[in-house]
Amino acid sequence: MLNKRNMARLYAMFWLCFFLFVVLLGRMAYMQLWRGDYYAKQADGNRLRQSRILAPRGMIYDCNGKELVNNLPGYAVALQKQSEYDKEMLKRLSVLIDIPLEKIEKKIKDNEYYSEPVVLKANISPELVTKIEEQRRDLPDVILQVQPIRNYMHNTLAVHALGYVGEVSSYEIENGLYKDVPQGSIVGKSGLEKTYDKVLRGEDGVLMEEVDVAGNVVQHYDTVDPVQGKSLKLTIDYDLQYKLEKFIDQHLEYLRKTKLAPKARAAAVVALDPRNGAVKAIISRPDYNPNLFVNGISTKDWNAINNDPNFPLNNKAINGEYPPGSTFKIVTGSAAFELNKVQLNELIYDGGFHPLVPTMGNAGGEVLGWLSFIKGLAMSDNVYFYELGYRVGIDAIAKYARIYGFGELTGIDIEGESSGLVASKQVKMDIWNEGWRLGDTFNAAIGQGFNLSTPLQLAVMLSCVANGGIKHQPYLVDEYLDPDGTVFGKPERKESRHIDVSQRTIDYMRDGMSATTEAGGTAAYFSSLPKKVAGKTGTAENPHGRDHGLFVAYGPVEDPELVVVAIVEQGGYGSSSAGPIVYEAFEEFFRSQGLLPPEPTKEELEAMARVEAAAKALAEKTERMKREALADKKAQEALKKAKAEAEAELKKEVATKKADEDKKKKSKSEKKKKAKKKKDENKED
Amino acid sequence: MKRILRNMDWWLLFAVLILMGCGLGLIDSATHSFAVSTGKSWHFSRQSTFMLIALVLAMCTLRFDYRILKNYATPFYIFNVLILIAVMLFGHTQLGAQRWIQIGGFTVQPSEFAKVFLIICLAAFMEKRIEWLEDFKDYIPVFIYIFIPFVLVLKQPDLGTSLTFMAILLGMIFVSGFKIRWFVWCTTLMVSLMPLMWKFVLKDYQKNRIRVFLNPELDPYGSGYHVIQSKIAIGSGGLFGKGWLEGTQSQLNFLPENHTDFIFAVVGEEFGFIGAAFIILMYFIIIWRGITIALNAEDDFGTLLAVGVTSMFMFHIMVNIGMTIGIMPVTGVPLPFLSYGVSSLLTNTMLIALLLNIRVSDQKLQF
């Protein structure tokens, strides 16, 4: 029989067990009560799958509210965020979406430190969406994100202003350009899309779904709706932009075909409102289609764009640097008047060359004789401005060039602007390590040599002349709009200020430019516009080929509302290459104001053609009938007879009518006489 | 019959019945998604059917006095060893271990029944020698007696059951007066033999389980996965739990083996601390009554039997719950009355019947 000690052992066993139960309970309490929240979060992390709902970007409208850029619905393939993926599944996916496995793995690695799903391919085809849905079970970590696709509605229209979007690159995330943007997001890559990316992008939403261990969705859990980005209302006028783009393409083709400028492929145009700096149209040629970039551009398309010697991606209106040519004579002229180095009616003799540097003369060796400032500017005489340059000196020219905005960024709200170059002694020293010569001053005075400017800078300079000396920051975005169309805000702009040039001098410049478009000026054909437009031609020397043709203009001269600058690379003389573009711009502008009859629409043209055809058919018919009638002489005679009878009858009728009328008249006059008599009698009474 | 009712240990009976009921509810929950997808609650009906069979069998055994078992100790022992050898030869493999044997239409796990045989045989074997168990060397026959079935089970390999044998042995020799200092020696010896065991005895997957037990994050998608998911399930249950059928970890299948070895995680997740504490209390009642029955048994055979049964239950409870909460390594030990498993259910019911038998056979009529 077990003894007392054994009984004690049983008690010991009981207390030992009791202690172990307490340990269990203690551990349970620790895990469930103390650390409960931690584990609850882990459980939610297990069962809840978060996927991003991409916010649609804001829309872009023209100044009249016409849609330029919107979004189309689409799908993107993404991988649910996980620390590890099944290799077999990735392989299957790689085949399905046609992206090499290494590329997928790289994307996963790039996304290592983000909790967002890894976006693999955007804007997939509806067939691929179905295929992935069918293979759901084999692809537990794959999710399909609804993704708005950016759509440039008018394709190439205003592409250099709008820019384009694309998937954010790891470089952009790392280098802080888009630092807090999750991988796979669509961001602005150039143009307004880039400058206003923060405004346009919006806030992504979150879709939370409960999934089982295989990744199958069990039920919907929660949704945070995405917030669409703000829309942009631009200053650009769709009609003007569209008409100008169409015309430029036709015009460049015309220039090439007629061999006037066989290599004219690149061009730039800026049209802005001199009263506030609002850009009404901005064009650069050649162009490209931004829709190609939205889903990742194909190698073929990219090579086509990238290997084009005329750089379609460049916005030549803001970053093309050209010698301003004769348009720069406004700067030289301003300097001369401001410094009192010349009088308005002072005559300077052009003998074909300047006596101090006899090798430099007019284009084509013209000799224009005695010239006043107005005539010198209107006829764009080089010798006259050599003399002015000689009188004021390079330092003064450089000073006034800067006053007009050359050599500095205009501050327009698209990235990639160039600042150009103002010719000065220092510049020559820096570039050539040579001293300054009088010939350099002469070159600078007529806008050649070291001077470089962008078309936009020329537009800003011209605006100053047009509006009486106020420098506005040019801008493209007028307002931010909420999705419902109400105004949300306005972008900030640099304050406008008066430039340091007197009203008198500016008036002289305006007179000179007005004379340019009058008879005897270099662009006399502008006088056919309904209101007076002042302009200035320019030819920018191009050491690599034919000269660039330039034309700048503003109008109407009494109260300028539009400034247009056009440049055609290798276009030759400004008046024939760039001038027609500017002319077209003003024509369209005046037409929009009702000063010119509207262009016939397509339907109208068709209707006109129909009427013409009908008239022709009618003419043929009468001709045939005549011939038939001639063949039948009897009928003809009868016709004659009948005609004669009819005429006789008509005469008779006319005669009787006349007689009747005469009678009536007579009776009337008699009545009147009687009445008069009565009146007279009454008077006498 | 009157005697049975009069001497019945109601605490123990009700604790067990409550646990069985809870077990059915938990199995239903744990296999819910399976049942929904197949349209059959196969696990639930099988478990409940066998529960009834087990209860009827248990009632029947109460009619016999447990003391007659003493006479069958040697045949039981031989039968047990033969069965275990049969498993090695004809058993089929499941989950990397050769534990199952097909008898008629059923697959049974002989190592489960081996526990019953072992407790009876060992109790009988020791009772005969109880007067002589004075010195350490007196225990050597006991060790040899248990060594043969132990090795056979270990070879299957079934670490859980072989460790259960050790626990039963430990409980019995502790109560029979095995000196504390001998325990210390043995422990020291075992620890010093560990490196050898590691090298020659333990299988790779067993080593891995121990490694992962020490650091589950080592293999979050492999063997550590179970423990991590189980801890998340229990921890996320909080005070009141997520509610029956509402546990996301088990319902969405993040928790594997949730109807067998990890069923306690379902308790923790769906019924919270309150539910888990209640289950632990029921187990405590079983252990408490087991030791009380051992104390009040009329003879040493009864005491040793009760101690063996209690030790076995204690071991299963501690190792299983400890495993689900990450304080014990993962061994394939089911939780009595809750885990799905017909063999284990029958075994456990028989063992409880044995405890009750010791109680109702008591002629002294105390407590």
Q: Is B104 left (phi over 0), alpha (psi -120 to 50) or beta?
A: left
pLDDT of residue A684: 45
Q: SS3 for B253?
A: coil
Give the C-alpha separation, A34 to A483, whole Å.
Answer: 47
pLDDT of residue A463: 94
> For residue A524, what are its two tokens?
């006399």
| Cβ atoms within 10 Å, residue B262 | 27
Residue of B nearest to A43 (CA): B232
DSSP notation for B76-93: HHHHHHHHHHHHHHH-EE
Q: Within 13 Å of residue B327, how many CA atoms lie on the same side as its CB?
A: 15
Taking 50 as the pLDDT cut, the residues of chain A under it are 684-685
In angstroms, the separation between the Cα of residue A170 and the nearest Cα of chain B is 30
Burial profile A161-187: b = 16 or more Cβ within 10 angstroms, e = fewer? bbbbbbbbeeebbeeeebeebbbbbbb
ipTM computed for the complex? 0.92
* Interface A-B: count of C-beta contacts within 8 A: 133
- For B63, phi and psi rounded to 5 degrees? -70, -25
pLDDT of residue A685: 46
Residue A422 contacts residue A367 (beta carbons within 8 Å)? no
pLDDT of residue B278: 96
> For residue B283, what are its two tokens?
């187990």
Contacts of B176 in chain A (CB under 8 A): 2, 6
| Cβ atoms within 10 Å, residue B167 | 20
Which segments of A170-280 does DSSP mark as H helices, in order? 170-174, 191-195, 197-201, 238-257
Give the C-alpha separation, A593 to A240, whole Å.
Answer: 12
Give the C-alpha separation, B325 to B267, whole Å.
Answer: 12
* Residue B274 touches chain A, beta carbons under 8 Å: no
Which segments of A467-539 does DSSP mark as H helices, in order? 503-516
Question: Which residue has tokens 């490694």?
Answer: B211
Contacts of A85 in chain B (CB under 8 A): none
Cα dist from A413 to A197, A218, A294, A416, whole Å: 12, 48, 22, 10
pLDDT of residue A316: 93
> Which of B232, B252, B291 lies at the smallest CB-CB distance from A13?
B291
Residue B223 contacts residue B209 (beta carbons within 8 Å)? yes
Would the CB atoms of A42 and B232 count as touching at under 8 Å? Answer: yes
Residue B52 host element (H or E): helix B42-61
Q: SS3 for A148?
A: strand
Give the C-alpha separation, B50 to A402, whole Å.
Answer: 100
Give the C-alpha separation, A508 to A374, whole Å.
Answer: 7
Would the CB atoms of B291 and A2 count as touching at under 8 Å? Answer: no
* Residue B175 touches chain A, beta carbons under 8 Å: yes
Report field, pTM of the whole predicted structure over 0.80: no
Which segments of A135-288 does DSSP mark as H helices, in order? 159-162, 170-174, 191-195, 197-201, 238-257
Give the C-alpha separation, A285 to A310, whole Å.
Answer: 8
* Residue B33 touches chain A, beta carbons under 8 Å: yes
Give the C-alpha separation, A448 to A324, whole Å.
Answer: 7
Residue B239 contacts residue B273 (beta carbons within 8 Å)? yes
Would the CB atoms of B232 and A46 count as touching at under 8 Å? Answer: yes
Give the C-alpha separation, A534 to A577, whole Å.
Answer: 17
Instruction: Name the nearest CA neighbour of A190 among A414, A480, A410.
Output: A414
Residue A533 contacts residue A555 (beta carbons within 8 Å)? yes
Residues 225-264 of B with CB under 8 A from A: 229, 231-239, 248-249, 252-254
Burial profile A444-474: b = 16 or more Cβ within 10 angstroms, e = fewer? bbbbbbbbbbbbbbbbbbbbbbbbebbbbbb
Would the CB atoms of B284 and A18 count as touching at under 8 Å? Answer: yes
* Residue B283 touches chain A, beta carbons under 8 Å: yes
Q: Dihedral (C-alpha) B342, B345, B347, B352: value to the nearest 10 degrees?
A: -160
Would the CB atoms of A36 and B307 count as touching at under 8 Å? Answer: no
Structural domains of chain A sorted by starting position, each given as residue range(s) with its CATH number in brackets: 48-234 (3.90.1310.10), 238-592 (3.40.710.10)
Residue A411 contacts residue A473 (beta carbons within 8 Å)? yes
In angstroms, the separation between the Cα of residue A25 and the nearest Cα of chain B is 7
pLDDT of residue A113: 66
B79 has which bridge partners? none
Residue A96 host element (H or E): helix A87-97
| Cβ atoms within 10 Å, residue B288 | 18
Burial of residue A538 (number of CB atoms within 10 Å: 0-12, 13-18, 19+) = buried
Would the CB atoms of A36 and B239 count as touching at under 8 Å? Answer: yes
pLDDT of residue A61: 95
Give the C-alpha separation, B54 to A646, whole Å.
Answer: 133
Pairing outcome for strands A205-211 and A48-53: antiparallel
Cα dist from B326 to A8, A22, A31, B23, B108, whole Å: 32, 16, 10, 22, 29
> For residue A378, what are its two tokens?
């209107």
Q: SS3 for B277?
A: helix
Give the C-alpha separation, A396 to A4, whole Å.
Answer: 122
In angstroms, the separation between the Cα of residue B225 and the nearest Cα of chain A is 12
Q: Is A462 left (phi over 0), alpha (psi -120 to 50) or beta?
A: alpha
> For residue A211, what are its two tokens?
């999934």
Q: SS3 for A497?
A: strand
Own/partner pairs for B362-366, CB < 8 Å, 24+ apart? B362/B7, B362/B296, B362/B297, B362/B298, B363/B298, B364/B296, B364/B298, B365/B6, B365/B7, B366/B296
| Domain layout of chain B by residue ranges | 2-360
Taking 50 as the pLDDT cut, the residues of chain B under it are 366-367
| Chain A residues whose C-beta sits inside 8 Å of any chain B C-beta | 1-2, 5-7, 9-10, 12-14, 17-18, 20-21, 23-25, 27-29, 31-33, 35-36, 38-40, 42-44, 46-47, 84, 210-214, 218
Question: Which residue has tokens 């509610």?
Answer: B243
pLDDT of residue A130: 86
Q: SS3 for A196?
A: coil
Residue of B nearest to A7 (CA): B295
Instruction: Name the nearest CA neighbour of A599 among A608, A560, A270, A579.
Output: A608
Helix A238-257 × helix A579-592 angle, to 10°: 150
| Cβ atoms within 10 Å, residue B143 | 12
Three-state SS for B211-227 is: HHHHCHHHCCCCHHHHH
Instruction: Name the nearest CA neighbour of B310 among B330, B329, B336.
Output: B336
> For residue B159, what are its two tokens?
């670490």
Write the DSSP symbol of residue B69: G
> Which amino acid is residue A599, in one-letter code?
E
Give the C-alpha separation, A424 to A430, whole Å.
Answer: 10
Question: Which residue has tokens 């939610």?
Answer: A44
Peptide bond between residue A483 and the one before it cis (omega within 30 degrees of 0): no
pLDDT of residue B94: 58
pLDDT of residue A2: 59
Give the C-alpha separation, B120 to A637, whole Å.
Answer: 149
> Which amino acid is residue A460, in one-letter code?
V
Would the CB atoms of A6 and B303 count as touching at under 8 Å? Answer: yes
